[in-house]
């Protein structure tokens, strides 16, 4: 690790409180810091805490003088080594034997240990009680006032700052206690004996009392010689520190440290040998009044100011200067200036005590430079964001799934042998006929408890079973609201033998089935009342209460939720082997965070082998942990530094994955955000150390703070961050306990959870008002320590770790030195300072700019491997997290904001999302689009709102795709692993949803929803786009996808509210309207089908209108659309009868449709001059007809065709007999209703072999027409072409086409398929024209849509909208744009051949078969993410006008040629227009 701990003689863990206090008073900003440090003697074992007294403390913004409360003794120092013992020392000399009240005997033994000053005191009482305590103190100089030792026996508490109270230990029928004291100045111990529970004090029947009240035992006084003399280790530490200062604060090696330490000890021993007492040494070394004049010139001063006062004065100067950020040199200067001011007072004759009082009252004259009095001098009001090429941010790393079976792994083991309880649970579940509502298996040590909740015949049934050997009793109740509620069950539902009480019942488990192999106890409970939501319970076995990790068990009935799924039992879409391994070792992981993080580190290699799904599984596991779905600690004590070290190991490995596997970076970031940073050595240990100092410094050692202290020592967790924040909020709210609980509950910590810890927190905080300032300061600093370990996404600690710090004298992280991350950009520190200066500023726009600029500055470093990469990563994660929280904070200021400001916020949040995402090309182009939209808005461009609406729609699509990626990648692992680990069902069901909500995508979606109505209003778009304006009446039905119901037949007229419509679906029978929030193209297949079928079809942009429509589910509505709006109302049943009669009349006017079977003409291929109705379909004939008849500037591609009948003839060829037989069988299955045969037929057709004559004729016709012959490029190219031809033939059996022909009762066997062969024109744009506006039916205007690349994205089911426009036929050079494109994908292809379907079932009168069958290019199209911000069709108005008007003129010319409305497809390449097909507009 490069985060090193500075080594020197003055390391704070080797300093006594006085030195550490002296050293830690001033932090890096020149202000007084709290004293969070650990004091431990060098030669002692485990470090023990020391107490000390500060006469003054700086708390918050004012100086508080702590009043000394002297009761039974003045405060002083005694070195005490506490040990509670089980037996008294037989060598002890009996110093007193007393008879107490009630014939109780007290014996006190005193003895010396060796030649040193240690005195042992053994106390025995012939009285046995759990509440017996010793109330005691130590006397010096036989004065009446007690000295309170700071090191005490285990369990000792301070009583009102006047005495110590130590519990006795039971020993047989009596109680014992042992204390050891090594202070030569201690002359006696005084004490009382109390039974706290009985509030009783034991008195002696003799007069051996001090003033008739206290017991006093004299301690032996030893003659001290030089050889026997010793000095307390804390004084040796001070002397060593002073020597280090005198020598210029050098950096020592460990050997030099030891030498210096022993030299300091020798100096003090020499002074003791000269007759100076330890008391006088202490007074001199700790700046107290000394009774002995010390001649050593390096430390004695005639006139000195205590450093603690200088520090306070320096802090006051800093506050008056406006709390600037001083450099280290400026800090030293300010410190010396403060000293000069106080020395000036001293020279006037003012005493130290008077100076202290004047500081308290603010009466010391202070001169501060004017330039320091305002913060603005030290901060920039707004950063200047650098201009960057957003293209440099594109990350095209896409993970490829690793199929689990391909991973090298041992063969699957034999099925696991089920335990008796598992077999019993499985059989009960299989026997149950009702709905399974919940199922849990609890691990209880070596035993298990199964709880199964079912619903049958209106009753909720709870089945419990356990494999405990001893009898078990269920102590239970019912709950209607919260898990903490206990309501007594009604006597009627109590199982036989139950015993009821006021709020609960006790029921004993019964022996299970007669089969002895089960060895289970079981119990069934039936609850008829549906108002009960769950059952709280505990178990009783013998005299032992059994709980769920310290809390009550609680099982939800939850009949309103979905039935428990098989939870992805086959683990499809997961790294199953890895998840099985995780489940296998979860019991071990539950012991502590140290165990879990080390296990996770061990599994990283297996995750790498499993690829994307492996890291998805790791994320799910870590997320379950972070959201408290898994046990954090189970009866295992672990030191914080051990947790921190395990975190460090795991995050180091994740750092390596981030560099070596860039395709997994987004998942790695998400995993790291659940883990926390960690860190070796001192970082984690400070969690233990600093809580002790907080307690001691603020006099809060009992109650809740002591319980929390015990929890922190036992096993710290991320909950401690929340608890600390709750305490801070509680204090800030003027001690409102409701605020404390609100902070806890808002962050998922309930009273039950506090009680569930191994070291439970029972009490509420209860502080005094005089503790407020000190606790706020110290808990604020402690929060930084907690976050440094537990919160990887904490901004302040992440900044500190990257910029580096050396905290020799700060309350936070004392003694830790972290070097700056190398290679940070110039000015980066100032940028982060700007961020921190604005972190709470109300106007969040400035802060967002700073956060994003910081992320952009870090971006290049994230691609470079280095040892400290994880520190950069955690900083970037924290900046990302802060953006999200800041945006949510800024919603209020957007309430009355104009569109420009909302758009700017959208661009910033989108930038943040792109910086955190893999495969972010679409997001980057959306961002470029928003930047263009902002520019158009500022420049008052007439199209700004219309263009912004297109970018908004595209951004929504991008968010939808991202959510779908999360769902497909994470949810299967969440379901499978959740079922293995017994995770709450609700947590599994919303797993992906919560992942999305936690990211920038949720904030971005919220901002888009704010802007959408503004844009629609500005662009006059309204709330609807009407695609097929048909008035109708029907019953409302709500469906998720139109695709899911396209083959359904509704028995009554139905208005479908479909959440998803892609564009290629069929309209189901019985549907009279389809209303959707989705945005299929107006010229997509489903849009054409709706118009042809006279079905109302419209897109609703207003979620409120849509929600109202959905709320009418089951009701009869009349829907009346216009060209731009839809009006709807509830109607009576009679109106439906009239509407049906009208519909029947209209339907009756349509003549029946017939197809004539086509025969093989003997020709395998024909030229365009031979296109006739007997040979080819209308598509081929129309393209041939256009040649030579349209204006010369309209290009017509060269074409040949494979005529009708060729497919059937090839199928009957002897070489294809086996294929023909299989197709015949499959067609019989299809006729019998097996629709799965459709796919099999298509696959079978691909097995056809090409007759040589077909190959030869097609080659001849293509070459004669000037088209390239694929076979000239090799046999493989011909095979590609032949496969494409067979795909066109096979599309006769597409599901959509097959069911469509059945609806109109067309004979499917008579459907013949010709193949139109054309050279692919590599298009810049593709278009579709309807020469009569399909939405309004207006024949005076042309409607057209344009896409980038090939036209398949327009006519196929590709999401997003095309550019749409209308043009009046009397003004074709003035096209009017209706909408800009939002399709993210364009299709492009190399020079190739396309084979187009051309059936005899297309363009029949009354039936539109166009678009039902496939057109297949020989080569696969390349999907390209489109950047519209640089597309001339978008940004160049004159270019756009030229292209759109040429499309309109082409449509007008072709309509004039045919004399009827036309549906035309074409392309634009290099500014030239080509028409590839035309058909009558339906």
DSSP annotation string for 888-908? HHTTGGGTT--HHHHHHHHHH
- What the block records as the tokens of 768 is 């005094």
Distance CA(627)–CA(674), nearest Å, equals: 9
713 is catalytic: no
Q: What's 547's DSSP letter?
A: -
Token pair belonging to 1259: 């080659």
Whose tokens are 């014992």? That residue is: 176
Which pairs from 614-617 meet CB under 8 Å and 24+ separation? 614/402, 614/575, 614/578, 615/657, 615/664, 615/667, 615/668, 615/671, 616/574, 616/575, 616/667, 616/969, 616/970, 616/973, 617/574, 617/575, 617/578, 617/579, 617/582, 617/973, 617/977
| Joined tokens for residue 881 | 């997290």
Per-residue confidence (pLDDT) for residue 408, from 0 to 100: 37
pTM, full prediction:
0.65
Question: From the CB of residue 1419, how many other CB atoms can be counted at a distance below 10 Å?
Answer: 17
What sign for the dihedral angle of Cα 852, 857, 860, 866? negative
Least Cα distance to 1381 among 1440, 1322, 1336 occurs for: 1440
**3-class DSSP assignment, residue 435:** strand
User: Among all chains, which residue has been given the structure tokens 């659940």?
Assistant: 674
**CA dist., res. 165 & res. 168, Å (int):** 10
Please state, in angstroms and rounded to a whole number, the distance separating the CA atoms of residues 1238 and 1435: 46
Reading the block at residue 819, the tokens are: 């070097």
Phi, psi of 1265 (to 5 degrees): -90, 0
Strand locations in 977-1079 (E): 1024-1028, 1032-1041, 1049-1060, 1069-1076
State how far the Cα of 548 lies from the Cα of 1140, in Å rounded to an integer: 63
Residues whose CB is less than 8 angstroms from the CB of residue 1423 and which lie 6 or more positions away in sequence, other chains included: 1385, 1386, 1387
Angle at 919 between CA 916 and CA 924, to 5 degrees: 70
The C-alpha atoms of residue 689 and residue 811 are separated, in whole angstroms, by: 12
Q: How far is CA 966 from the centre of its chain?
A: 12
Residue 55, classed as helix, strand or coil, is: coil
For helices 795-803 and 772-790, what crossing angle results, to 10°?
70
Residue 1227 CA from chain centroid, whole number: 52
Q: What is the CB-side half-sphere exposure of residue 1287 using CA atoms within 13 A? A: 15
β-strand pairing of 215-218 with 200-202: unpaired
* Strand partners of residue 1096: 1073
Q: Which residues of the chain have pLDDT under 50?
A: 1-93, 206-211, 224-228, 288-302, 369-379, 402-413, 559-566, 680-682, 808-816, 1141-1142, 1144-1150
In which residue are the tokens 């209860």 written? 766
Angstrom distance (rounded) from CA 372 to CA 321: 5
SS3 at position 770: helix
Whole-number pLDDT of residue 249: 64
Answer for the pair 1059, 1105: CB distance below 8 angstroms, yes or no: no
Asked if 559 and 437 touch (Cβ cutoff 8 Å), the reply is yes
Give the Cα separation of 979 and 601 in Å (integer). 23
Q: What are phi and psi of 89, to 5 degrees?
A: -80, 120
Give 94's strand partners.
109
Inter-helix orientation angle 703-715/682-697, to 10°: 170
Angle at CA 1217, nearest 5°, toward 1211 and 1219?
70
Q: Which helix or strand (DSSP H or E) is residue 1002 part of?
A: helix 1000-1018
Residue whose pair of structure tokens reads 């598992």 in the numeric block: 422
**C-alpha distances in Å from residue 694, one per residue of 166, 777, 788, 1265:** 22, 10, 18, 92
Interior CA angle at 996 toward 994 and 998, to 5°?
70
Element at 1387 (helix H, strand E): strand 1385-1388
Q: Which one of the listed residues 279, 1085, 1308, 1330 is annotated catalytic?
A: 1085
How many whole angstroms separate alpha carbon 1201 and alpha carbon 1265? Answer: 11
SS3 914: helix
pLDDT on residue 297: 36
Q: How large is the angle between the packed helices 844-858 and 899-915, nearest 10 degrees?
A: 30
């Amino acid at each position: 690790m490069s985060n090193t701990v500075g080594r020197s003689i003055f390391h704070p863990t080797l300093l006594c409180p006085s030195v550490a206090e002296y050293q830690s008073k001033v932090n890096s900003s020149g202000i007084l810091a709290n004293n969070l440090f650990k004091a431990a003697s060098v030669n002692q074992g485990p470090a023990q805490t020391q107490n000390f007294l500060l006469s003054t403390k700086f708390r918050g913004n004012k100086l508080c003088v702590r009043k000394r409360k002297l009761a039974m003794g003045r405060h002083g120092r005694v070195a005490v080594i506490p040990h509670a013992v089980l037996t008294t020392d037989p060598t002890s000399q009996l110093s007193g034997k007393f008879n107490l009240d009630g014939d109780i005997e007290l014996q006190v033994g005193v003895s010396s240990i060796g030649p040193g000053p240690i005195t042992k005191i053994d106390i025995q009482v012939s009285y046995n009680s759990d509440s017996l305590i010793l109330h005691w103190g130590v006397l010096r100089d036989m004065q009446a006032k007690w000295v309170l030792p700071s090191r005490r026996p285990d369990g000792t508490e301070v009583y009102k700052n006047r005495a110590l109270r130590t519990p006795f230990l039971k020993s047989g029928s009596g109680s014992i206690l042992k204390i050891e004291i090594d202070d030569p100045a201690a002359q006696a111990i005084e004490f009382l004996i109390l039974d706290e529970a009985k509030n009783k004090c034991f008195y002696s029947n003799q007069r051996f009392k001090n003033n008739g009240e206290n017991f006093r035992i004299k301690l032996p006084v030893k003659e001290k010689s030089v050889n026997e003399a010793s000095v307390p280790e804390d004084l040796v530490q001070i002397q060593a520190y002073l020597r280090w200062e005198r020598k210029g604060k050098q950096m020592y090696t460990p050997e030099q440290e030891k030498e210096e330490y022993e030299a300091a000890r020798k100096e003090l021993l020499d002074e003791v040998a000269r007759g100076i007492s330890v008391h006088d040494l202490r007074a001199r070394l700790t700046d107290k009044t000394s009774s002995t004049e010390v001649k050593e010139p390096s430390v004695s001063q005639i006139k000195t100011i205590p450093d603690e006062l200088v520090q306070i004065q320096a802090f006051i100067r800093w506050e008056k200067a406006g709390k600037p950020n001083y450099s280290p040199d400026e800090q030293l200067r300010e410190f010396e200036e403060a000293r000069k001011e106080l020395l000036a007072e001293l020279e006037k004759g003012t005493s130290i005590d008077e100076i202290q009082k004047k500081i308290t009252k603010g009466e010391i004259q202070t001169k501060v430079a004017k330039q320091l009095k305002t913060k603005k001098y030290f901060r920039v009001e707004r950063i200047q964001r650098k201009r960057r090429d957003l293209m440099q941010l594109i990350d095209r790393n896409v993970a490829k799934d690793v199929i689990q079976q391909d991973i090298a792994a041992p063969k699957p083991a034999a099925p696991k042998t089920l335990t008796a309880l598992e077999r019993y649970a499985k059989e009960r579940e299989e026997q149950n006929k009702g709905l399974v509502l919940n199922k849990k298996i609890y691990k209880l040590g070596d035993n298990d408890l199964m709880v199964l909740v079912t619903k049958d015949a209106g009753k909720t049934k709870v089945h419990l079973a356990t494999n405990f050997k001893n009898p078990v009793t269920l102590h239970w109740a019912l709950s209607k609201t919260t898990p903490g509620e206990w309501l007594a069950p009604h006597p009627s539902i109590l199982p036989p033998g139950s015993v009821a009480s006021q709020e609960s019942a006790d029921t004993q488990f019964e022996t299970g089935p007669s089969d002895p192999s089960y060895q289970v106890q079981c119990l069934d409970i039936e609850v008829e009342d549906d108002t009960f939501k769950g059952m709280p319970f505990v178990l009783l076995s013998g005299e032992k209460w059994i709980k769920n990790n310290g809390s009550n068990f609680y099982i939800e009935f939850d009949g309103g939720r979905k039935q428990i799924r098989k939870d992805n039992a086959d683990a499809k879409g997961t790294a199953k082997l890895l998840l099985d391994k995780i489940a296998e070792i979860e019991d071990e992981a539950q012991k502590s965070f140290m165990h879990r993080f080390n296990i996770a580190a061990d599994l990283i290699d297996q995750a790498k082998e499993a690829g994307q799904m492996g890291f998805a599984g790791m994320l799910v596991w870590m997320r379950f942990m972070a959201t408290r779905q898994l046990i954090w600690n189970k009866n295992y004590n672990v030191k914080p530094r051990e947790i921190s070290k395990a975190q460090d190991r795991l995050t180091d490995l994740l750092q390596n994955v981030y560099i070596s596997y860039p395709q997994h970076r987004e998942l790695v970031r998400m995993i790291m955000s659940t883990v926390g940073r960690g860190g070796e050595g001192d970082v984690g240990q400070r969690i233990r150390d600093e809580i002790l100092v907080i307690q001691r410094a603020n006099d809060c050692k009992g109650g809740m703070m002591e319980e929390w202290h015990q929890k922190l020592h036992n096993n710290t967790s991320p909950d401690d961050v929340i608890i600390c924040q709750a305490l801070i909020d509680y204090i800030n709210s003027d001690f409102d306990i409701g605020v404390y609980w609100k902070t806890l509950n808002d962050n998922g910590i309930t009273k039950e959870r506090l009680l569930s810890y191994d070291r439970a927190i029972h009490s509420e905080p209860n502080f005094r008002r005089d503790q407020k300032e000190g606790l706020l300061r110290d808990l604020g600093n402690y929060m930084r320590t907690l976050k440094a370990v537990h919160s990887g996404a904490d901004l302040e600690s992440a900044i500190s770790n990257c910029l580096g710090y050396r905290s020799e004298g700060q309350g936070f992280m004392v003694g830790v030195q972290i070097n700056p991350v190398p290679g940070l950009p110039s000015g980066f520190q100032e940028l982060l300072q700007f961020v921190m200066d604005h972190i709470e500023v109300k106007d969040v726009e400035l802060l967002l700019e700073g956060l994003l600029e910081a992320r952009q500055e870090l971006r290049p470093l994230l691609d470079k491997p280095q040892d400290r990469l994880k520190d950069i990563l955690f900083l970037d994660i924290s900046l990302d997290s802060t953006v999200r929280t800041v945006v949510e904070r800024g919603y209020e200021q957007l309430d009355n904001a104009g569109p420009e400001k909302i758009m700017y916020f959208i661009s910033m949040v989108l930038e943040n999302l792109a910086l955190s995402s893999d495969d972010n090309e679409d997001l980057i182009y959306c961002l470029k689009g928003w930047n263009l939209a902002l520019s158009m808005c500022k420049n008052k461009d007439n199209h700004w709102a219309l263009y912004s609406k297109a970018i908004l729609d595209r951004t929504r699509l991008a968010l939808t795709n991202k959510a779908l990626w999360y769902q497909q990648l994470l949810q299967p692992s969440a379901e499978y692993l959740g079922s293995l680990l017994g995770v709450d069902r609700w947590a599994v069901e919303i797993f992906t949803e919560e992942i999305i909500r936690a990211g920038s995508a949720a904030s971005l979606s919220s901002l888009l929803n704010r802007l959408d109505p503004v844009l629609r209003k500005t662009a006059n778009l309204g709330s609807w786009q009407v695609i097929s304006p048909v008035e109708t009446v029907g019953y409302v039905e709500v469906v998720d996808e139109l695709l899911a119901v396209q083959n359904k037949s509704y028995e009554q007229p139905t208005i479908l509210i479909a959440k998803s419509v892609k564009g290629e679906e069929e309209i189901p029978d019985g549907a009279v309207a389809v209303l959707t929030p989705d945005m299929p193209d107006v010229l997509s297949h489903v849009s054409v089908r709706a118009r042809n079928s006279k079905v109302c079809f419209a897109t609703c942009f207003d979620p409120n209108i849509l929600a109202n429509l959905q709320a009418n589910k089951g009701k009869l509505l009349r829907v009346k659309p216009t060209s731009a709006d839809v009006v709807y109302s509830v109607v009576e049943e009679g109106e439906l009868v009239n509407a049906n009669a009208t519909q029947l009349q209209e339907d009756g006017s349509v003549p029946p449709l017939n197809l004539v079977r086509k025969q093989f003409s003997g020709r395998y291929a024909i030229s365009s001059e031979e296109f006739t109705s007997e040979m080819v379909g209308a598509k081929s004939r129309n393209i041939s007809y256009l040649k030579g008849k349209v204006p010369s500037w309209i290009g017509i591609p060269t074409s040949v065709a494979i005529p009708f009948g060729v497919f059937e003839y090839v199928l009957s060829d002897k070489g294809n007999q086996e294929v023909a037989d299989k197709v015949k069988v499959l067609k019989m299955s299809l006729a019998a209703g097996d629709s799965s045969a459709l796919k099999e037929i298509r696959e079978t057709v691909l097995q056809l072999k090409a007759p040589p004559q077909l190959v030869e004729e097609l080659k001849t016709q293509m070459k004669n027409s000037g088209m390239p012959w694929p076979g000239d490029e090799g046999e493989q190219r011909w095979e590609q072409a032949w496969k494409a031809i067979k795909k066109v033939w096979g599309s006769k059996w597409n599901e959509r086409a097959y069911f469509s022909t059945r609806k109109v009762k067309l004979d499917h066997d008579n459907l013949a398929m010709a193949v139109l062969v054309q050279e692919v024109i590599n298009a810049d744009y593709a278009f579709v024209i309807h020469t009569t506006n399909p939405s309004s039916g207006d024949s005076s205007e042309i409607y057209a849509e344009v896409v980038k690349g090939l036209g398949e994205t327009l006519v196929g089911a590709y999401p997003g909208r095309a550019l749409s426009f209308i043009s009046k036929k009397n003004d074709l050079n003035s096209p009017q744009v209706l909408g800009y494109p939002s399709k993210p994908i364009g299709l492009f292809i190399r020079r190739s051949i396309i084979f187009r379907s051309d059936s005899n079932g297309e363009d029949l009168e009354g039936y539109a078969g166009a678009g039902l069958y496939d057109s297949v290019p020989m080569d696969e199209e390349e999907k390209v993410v489109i950047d519209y911000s640089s597309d001339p069709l978008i940004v160049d108005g004159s270019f756009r006008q030229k292209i759109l008007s040429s499309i309109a003129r082409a449509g007008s010319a072709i309509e004039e040629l045919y004399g009827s409305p036309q549906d035309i497809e074409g392309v634009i390449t290099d500014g030239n227009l080509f028409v590839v097909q035309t058909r009558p507009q339906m």
